[in-house]
A and B are shown apart, each in its own frame.
Chain A
Amino acid sequence: MENTTTSARERLVKSNKNKSNGELRGKMIVTLSAIIMITATVAITVFLATKGLQAFLVNGVSPIEFLTSTDWNPTDEGNPKFGAFPFIYGSLAVTLLSALIAAPIGIGAAIFMTEIAPAWGRKILQPVIELLVGIPSVVYGFIGLTVLVPFIRNQFDGIGYSLLAGTIVLSVMILPTITTIATDAMGTLPRNLREGSYALGATRWQTIRKVLVPAALPSLLTAIVLGMARAFGEALAVQMVIGNSRAIPSSILDTSATLTSIITLNMGYTTYGSVENNTLWSMGLILLIISFVFILIIRYLSSRRRI
């Protein structure tokens, strides 16, 4: 019995009839797509790495200075300074703060859609989310600039351009990412988990808090990290509202700058191959490395998924 089935299967697998031309062509097309994607990724990484290291290897900028010094003054003729720490700090600060705002709202909305009002909650929130995704980042920046910055200026002292403005704009921008993934995570939990909990006499909140959220936790964290990755890489909208100063902000009402905003602001004014231009590439390399860390975290979290 066992023997005849395996040999029949082998015969089918090995049979030439199935290896028609169409099959082969299809296989070539998809393989090619995969190769193109891998090549593009590798090429960009290698290019970024070579360009990003040039400031250190060719121009002699100290990597330690670059990563830790707070002094950024690349255009000083006699004594240029290449401390990118304020921008690294700004990038991380704005990313963490926006995740801090967007994560509870996004996960809350996801729970609302899957647990509280599954019938109509999704119908309303789904289009809202899609709309948020569809708005271009320059429009977010523009709205932030026109509404948020003056608002902050009027409410608090200062000029309005601030870490706070950047954080708020970014939290709205990453909200759809977090909500969508969190909704998927909650929605794909097996129904029998809910039933099991309700059948023991648990209330809806107990079921959500003690069974569903813990069960979905790795996926929920993935949602947050993906949102952070998005915030970390966003340039345009942040640049428009954050103020782009060179100092480390001492409060969320201070102006600040991010790696991305410094790159977009300065790339047009530097000549290709100059030290300053090369240090912008180094910042790009740091962006890549930190994004890579985000991916590693996501990988780790998905391997821990329990359902």
Chain B
Amino acid sequence: MQTTTANKSVFDVKDLNLWYGSFHALINLNFSMYKNEVTAIIGPSGCGKSTFVKTLNLMVNMIPNVHMSGEINYNDKNILNKKIDLVELRKQIGMIFQKGNPFPQSIYDNVAYGPRIHGIKKKKQLDEIVEESLKDVALWDEVKDRLQSAALGLSGGQQQRLCIARALATKPEVVLMDEPTSALDPISTLKIEELITKLKEKYTIVIVTHNMQQAARISDKTAFFLNGEVVEFSDTNQLFSNPSDKRTEDYITGRFG
């Protein structure tokens, strides 16, 4: 496992284990994610990719019977520590889901949701955040004349970009994405990929994907998961061109998974 980076690490995962009841879903994970980089998580279905990204913002805490051991150091602070402030953590670590999940409210209210719950009330300030976030996801021009219309009236790709804007509106440091394009057509997928490449200037991104071309195109580092373990973690170029583990090679050449 070799990586080259000049950036500082945002997440340091140390000996992370997770159990659903008695099922050992994540086994001894050890790797780091770096600032302003895109880290791709790949691996066959059921290997623990979603489970892993959900540990990073502690969304796994909502699932009954989950327990964890080890450390997830976010900016050098272990978030598995009991005293962590979930509200603050999730404000800093946004999450995008497989299927766009806008609230059944207006476009404006969707984007303003995060800032509002975090205490911003001034209309002018909210207006600015909404505009900026929608511009960040290249949705502003498409929706600026109908900010008050229903978010569910947007197309699937627009809904997903709206959800990204909604996550960006809380000014996070990290954006977690769990197969954000798997429900989208190729054009919308391309738009989101371009967006991710642009977003990494400002944000740190962790993306789960089933699409290996996508991982190769947009990520700086890639972690290959298999049955709850990280088999290989290295620079994306290296992992795809010269994998050090036989199982990685089998997977990326399509021999299983």
Asked if A306 meets B59 with Cβ closer than 8 Å, knowing A193-B103, A200-B117, A210-B117, the reply is no
Complex contacts, A197 vs chain B, CB 8 Å? 103, 113
Is A200's CB under 8 angstroms from B59's CB?
no
The answer to the question of B66 belonging to the interface, with a C-beta cut-off of 8 Å to chain A, is: no
Which of B88, B97, B105 touches A214 (beta carbons < 8 Å)? B105
Interface size, B (range) = 20 to 34
The answer to the question of A195 belonging to the interface, with a C-beta cut-off of 8 Å to chain B, is: yes
Is B101's CB under 8 angstroms from A192's CB?
yes
Complex contacts, B13 vs chain A, CB 8 Å? none
Q: Please give the distance in Å from B57's CB to the nearest CB on chain A.
A: 6
Which of B62, B102, B103 touches A198 (beta carbons < 8 Å)? B62
A168→B88 CA distance, assembly (Å): 45
Is A200's CB under 8 angstroms from B91's CB?
yes
Is B167's CB under 8 angstroms from A195's CB?
no
Q: Please give the distance in Å from B136's CB to the nearest CB on chain A.
A: 16
Q: Please give the distance in Å from B223's CB to the nearest CB on chain A.
A: 21
Is B163's CB under 8 angstroms from A196's CB?
yes
Of residues A190, A193, A199, A211, which shows the largest number of chain B Cβ atoms within 10 Å of its Cβ? A199
Q: Please give the distance in Å from A150's CB to the nearest CB on chain B.
A: 48
A193→B53 CA distance, assembly (Å): 18
User: Which positions 229-271 of chain A face chain B at CB distance < 8 Å?
Assistant: none
B176: nearest chain-A partner, CB-CB:
A199
Complex contacts, A202 vs chain B, CB 8 Å? 87, 113, 117
A190: nearest chain-B partner, CB-CB:
B101
Which of B91, B95, B150, B170 touches A306 (beta carbons < 8 Å)? B150
User: Which positions 196-245 of chain B face chain A at CB distance < 8 Å?
Assistant: none
A190→B94 CA distance, assembly (Å): 20
Complex contacts, A29 vs chain B, CB 8 Å? none
Is B90's CB under 8 angstroms from A201's CB?
yes
B85: nearest chain-A partner, CB-CB:
A201
A200→B170 CA distance, assembly (Å): 8
Of residues A119, A198, A203, which shows the largest number of chain B Cβ atoms within 10 Å of its Cβ? A198
A190→B86 CA distance, assembly (Å): 23
Is A199's CB under 8 angstroms from B103's CB?
no
Q: Please give the distance in Å from B100's CB to the nearest CB on chain A.
A: 9
Is B59's CB under 8 angstroms from A199's CB?
yes
Is B59's CB under 8 angstroms from A198's CB?
yes
Complex contacts, B116 vs chain A, CB 8 Å? 210
The answer to the question of B77 belonging to the interface, with a C-beta cut-off of 8 Å to chain A, is: no
Per-residue interface assignment for chain B, residues 103 to 117, with 1 indicating a CB less than 8 Å from any chain A CB and 0 otherwise:
111000000011011
Q: Please give the distance in Å from A193's CB to the nearest CB on chain B.
A: 6
Is B113's CB under 8 angstroms from A210's CB?
yes
User: Which positions 169-193 of chain A face chain B at CB distance < 8 Å?
Assistant: 190, 192-193
Q: Give the number of residue pairs across the A-B interface with Cβ within 8 Å.
A: 69
A189: nearest chain-B partner, CB-CB:
B104
Complex contacts, A196 vs chain B, CB 8 Å? 97, 101-103, 163, 166
Complex contacts, B138 vs chain A, CB 8 Å? none
User: Which positions 290-307 of chain A face chain B at CB distance < 8 Å?
Assistant: 306-307
The answer to the question of A215 belonging to the interface, with a C-beta cut-off of 8 Å to chain B, is: yes
Is B113's CB under 8 angstroms from A306's CB?
no
Complex contacts, B64 vs chain A, CB 8 Å? 119
Which of A192, A200, A214 touches B114 (beta carbons < 8 Å)? A200
Q: Please give the distance in Å from B193's CB to the nearest CB on chain A.
A: 22
Is A201's CB under 8 angstroms from B91's CB?
yes
Is B104's CB under 8 angstroms from A198's CB?
no
Complex contacts, A200 vs chain B, CB 8 Å? 90-91, 94, 113-114, 117, 166-167, 170
Is B163's CB under 8 angstroms from A201's CB?
no
Complex contacts, B8 vs chain A, CB 8 Å? none
The answer to the question of A206 belonging to the interface, with a C-beta cut-off of 8 Å to chain B, is: yes
A151→B88 CA distance, assembly (Å): 52
A193→B86 CA distance, assembly (Å): 18
Asked if A195 meets B170 with Cβ closer than 8 Å, knowing A201-B88, A306-B150, A306-B152, the reply is no
The answer to the question of B14 belonging to the interface, with a C-beta cut-off of 8 Å to chain A, is: no
A306→B103 CA distance, assembly (Å): 10
The answer to the question of B99 belonging to the interface, with a C-beta cut-off of 8 Å to chain A, is: yes
Which of A119, A203, A211 touches B103 (beta carbons < 8 Å)? A211
Q: Please give the distance in Å from B125's CB to the nearest CB on chain A.
A: 17
Complex contacts, B170 vs chain A, CB 8 Å? 200-201
A37→B22 CA distance, assembly (Å): 54
The answer to the question of B67 belonging to the interface, with a C-beta cut-off of 8 Å to chain A, is: no
Q: 10 A–B contact pairs at CB < 8 A? A: A119-B64, A190-B101, A192-B101, A195-B101, A197-B103, A201-B90, A201-B117, A211-B103, A214-B103, A215-B103
